[in-house]
Chains A and B, each alone.
Chain A
Amino acid sequence: MEVTRTLVAWCADWPLVAAGVPLDEPAAVLRANRVVACSPAARREGVERHQRRRDAQSRCPELVILDHDPAAEARAFEPVAAALEVLTPRIEITYPGACAFPTRGPSRYHGGDQALAERAAVLVDSALVERGPVRVGVADGPFAAGLAARRHRPVAPTRVVGPAARLRGDPGEGPPAVGSMSGSASGRSRSRPGSGSRPPERAPAGTAAARARDLVVVVPPGASPAFLAPVPVTVLADVDGAEETVALVGVLERLGVRTLGALAALPLAEVVGRFGAAGLRAHRLASGLDARPPATGPAPVEWTLSAVIDPPAARVEAVAFVARGLADDLHTRLAAAGSACTRLVVGAESEHGETHERVWRTEGSFTPLAIADRVRWQLEGWIDGLGHSALRPSGGLTRLWLAPDEIVPAGGRQLALPAGGPGMVDPIEAGDRAARALARVQGLLGVEAVRVPEWRGGRGPGERVALVPVAADDVTESRPASRPEWVPEPWPGWVPDPAPAAVHDPPLPAQVVDAAGRPVRVSGRGEVSRPPAEVVVAGGRRRAVAAWAGPWPCDERWWDPETHRRRARVQVATDGGPAYLLTVEAGRWSVEATYD
């Protein structure tokens, strides 16, 4: 039952810190119209993770909305990982914003876990340059260490918001088990009940070491199960967003198993019998063990794959394309041996011999897409390093290697059965093929060139679906916003079906005249001055109007003087030609869409 003693350094609200947003301003990062992270100021206003954009804005109208950009987050995290490299060469990046390393060697060198953790906190803090808070936790195993790091997050005591805040456990002050933690840490969380969720203020007279002590939680060796016991089971879903885990947590809660201690107290065999592999994992984590039994030994050398890049690549896209092939190759080989990779070393070498290596860890197992993502993140951080010109490679990249560091038996993922029937295609194969082709296109045209549709709420045909850029590796991920069910109800006042086949952005200028050749106007009461007789689109030829309907007035965002729009829409069918959706706004006509 040996568990690796691990240190986790965690930067709270990393997506916002990476975007350079001050944490005392309300801001949220959205992906597919849902909040993935929000600043403490926004949390105080009631913004939560998984909220829809409208709900978040309704709670906090001045909310600054940012797009989710994992690559930029990883790039910004590179200096943090680099700062910790003076402690140990084996920094594992769990995801941008959190990294971990085993403490066994470094702890002895620096004089104990507490000293090491404080040193790590000082290093990360100086790398962050006051941009955001950092927390460090040391415990047996990465799961407990991660919780120790997060648990210390200051939250306004009267308001429990968001899943992240639930990490605190019961709304009362520190639960009994916390007493086993280092005294200074739990004492601090009590002494600052009113600090809200602001980043921790630096005590003006305090030394760097005293500040660092405030940022650190060390769970003594062997005390992890007691530390974990009062924590609610929902943290399992927060740590690992996999569908199975979320469903498992839901069932556990309904069964009355609400804390990790209660889960750990259940007999392992019964949990596995009921919940299978996901239950085994959860039970091990709750008991303070690693998610899997420890690997029997280091990965054999022959798994390491490397590729020579010729000519040397200066752009990340070109390397990402190579990485994709390498990742596919590695995955195929591992799958053939019934194995999967959970920790991976990604390395690259420039033409002048500089090398860059990072260890990446994942909670599940690495898919080829996930590997290619990590390569892209790491190399973007290295090549476009933030202001660390000395650390950047001086030439193009010539070699890339992937070395699996921890190999486990594959979880036995059930692939979809090949679809039957003529013309049906294997969905996984088709998706992989498309992702590879898009990686190539992104290498040619840049990352922004590839866009996928996403449903949004809206009235106009161009507002109901938005195009968002996508990394080639994400294109086959499940994207719920690309399904029509994402917007359950039509908005009142929307343009009725069928939708136009061409939507013009920006709208094309148009002229609409009546039978006498005078411009048609729409009054404030929504009446046309004369029936339209002819339209001219974008300076083209005159087309006679065969039939028309409208005007349908539309008064949007009247509460906001800057984005307020008042317009009227008219449908027009021309003789023999296309039908148009015309918009008149401030007396000016334009073609919003063409029914081509």
Chain B
Amino acid sequence: MARVEAFAGDPVNGGADPTGLPRVRGLGGTAGGAAAAVSRAPAVEVGPARLARDRCLPVLPALEALVPGPGLRRGTTVGVSAAPGVAGTTSLALALAAGASQAGSWVAAIGLGSLGLVAAAELGVALERLVLVADPGRDREGWAPVVGALVDGFDVVLVAAPERFRPADARRLVARVRERGAVLVAVGGDLPGERSPLGLTVTAARWEGLGHGWGRLEGRRMTVEAGGRGEATRTRRAELWLPAEGGGVGAAEALATPIPLQAVRDVGRSA
């Protein structure tokens, strides 16, 4: 009896049970049900003071230098874009969602029909909590209600092609995001007529590991600039490996003198 109760009181005891005993989830009838009801109550409302970091979704450690505060502030919109001729928007948006996803948040992506899901998993997005919603079509009216519904239920919503929103819809959407405490990541820039409190821009990106007929893509060195309004006004800059070798996101050591490294490589290649 004592043995069974030990398991029943140990919900974190994972599937790998060394004794091979079946996991028994509690014996009590009524008491268990009542306990279930109590723990379902929104515990967040109880605390008298709410710390700033409780109102944030965590980000990956490598991205902490880019965001003001401890993470992505709930209820805000983040615009992710790239300088002309530079790639990396999708990866950066995925990396931004990865921290919250690992902490248990659900992530929805809409309009990103060609999203590379293996890449998402490598960058740290938990695929079991990722949902893709089909493009609502060319019709601009279709987007606002669908994205609005997603914002109600998901902590992070990735939206492609923000230019599809009419300014009036975008304004309503931003208000809904603020009310629901979600984070809307606009992949490709700000929503029309709205300036995001935080905007991330890929200013430079360079793939490493590829030669002329040899090697393979190993990692990408990326420079990201963050700016925005309010506490994000000051421009922040970070050097990232996105993706790092073998997947994931890493902080790149500041490269003070990239030119000599470049020269050595060039010599090596022409040889």
B153 in contact with A438 (CB, 8 Å):
yes
B32 in contact with A595 (CB, 8 Å):
no
Is A274 an interface residue when CB atoms closer than 8 A count as contact?
yes
Is B225 an interface residue when CB atoms closer than 8 A count as contact?
no
Please indicate the chain A residues that have their CB under 8 angstroms from the CB of B259 in the complex. none
B33 in contact with A500 (CB, 8 Å):
no
Chain B at the A interface: SS class:
mixed
Which of A273, A497, A595 is in CB contact (< 8 Å) with B207?
A595
Q: How many whole Å from A445's CB to the nearest CB in chain B?
A: 6
Which of B11, B39, B53, B105 is in CB contact (< 8 Å) with A430?
B105
Is B252 an interface residue when CB atoms closer than 8 A count as contact?
no
Size of interface on B: residues with Cβ below 8 Å to A: 94
For the A-B complex, the count of residue pairs with Cβ-Cβ distances under 8 Å equals 303
**Mask of A450-472 contacts with B, CB within 8 angstroms, 1/0:** 11110100000100110100100
B27 in contact with A483 (CB, 8 Å):
no
Size of interface on A: residues with Cβ below 8 Å to B: 96
Q: Scan residues 1-34 of chain B and give those whose CB is less than 8 A from a CB of chain A.
A: 1, 3-4, 8, 11-12, 20-34
A596 in contact with B87 (CB, 8 Å):
yes
Is A294 an interface residue when CB atoms closer than 8 A count as contact?
no
A425 in contact with B27 (CB, 8 Å):
no
Is B216 an interface residue when CB atoms closer than 8 A count as contact?
yes
The stretch from B119-127, B189-197, B227-235 touching chain A is: B119-127
* Distance, CA A329 to CA B253, complexed state (A): 54
Q: How many whole Å from B180's CB to the nearest CB in chain A?
A: 10
Q: How many whole Å from B111's CB to the nearest CB in chain A?
A: 12
Which of B36, B71, B119, B142 is in CB contact (< 8 Å) with A423?
B71
Which of B26, B37, B71, B133 is in CB contact (< 8 Å) with A445?
B133
B207 in contact with A579 (CB, 8 Å):
yes
Is A388 an interface residue when CB atoms closer than 8 A count as contact?
no
Is A441 an interface residue when CB atoms closer than 8 A count as contact?
yes
Is B130 an interface residue when CB atoms closer than 8 A count as contact?
yes
* Distance, CA A279 to CA B188, complexed state (A): 56
* Distance, CA A490 to CA B36, complexed state (A): 41
B54 in contact with A251 (CB, 8 Å):
no
Please indicate the chain A residues that have their CB under 8 angstroms from the CB of B103 in the complex. 419, 421, 423-425
B210 in contact with A275 (CB, 8 Å):
no
Is A186 an interface residue when CB atoms closer than 8 A count as contact?
no
**Mask of A245-283 contacts with B, CB within 8 angstroms, 1/0:** 001101100100000000000000000011111100000
B36 in contact with A444 (CB, 8 Å):
no
Which of B134, B210, B218 is in CB contact (< 8 Å) with A548?
B210
Q: 5 A-B Cβ contacts within 8 A?
A: A412-B36, A440-B149, A445-B146, A502-B115, A571-B217
Query: Shortest 6 CB-CB distances between A and B: which pairs?
Result: A412-B32, A437-B153, A410-B33, A578-B87, A247-B22, A409-B29
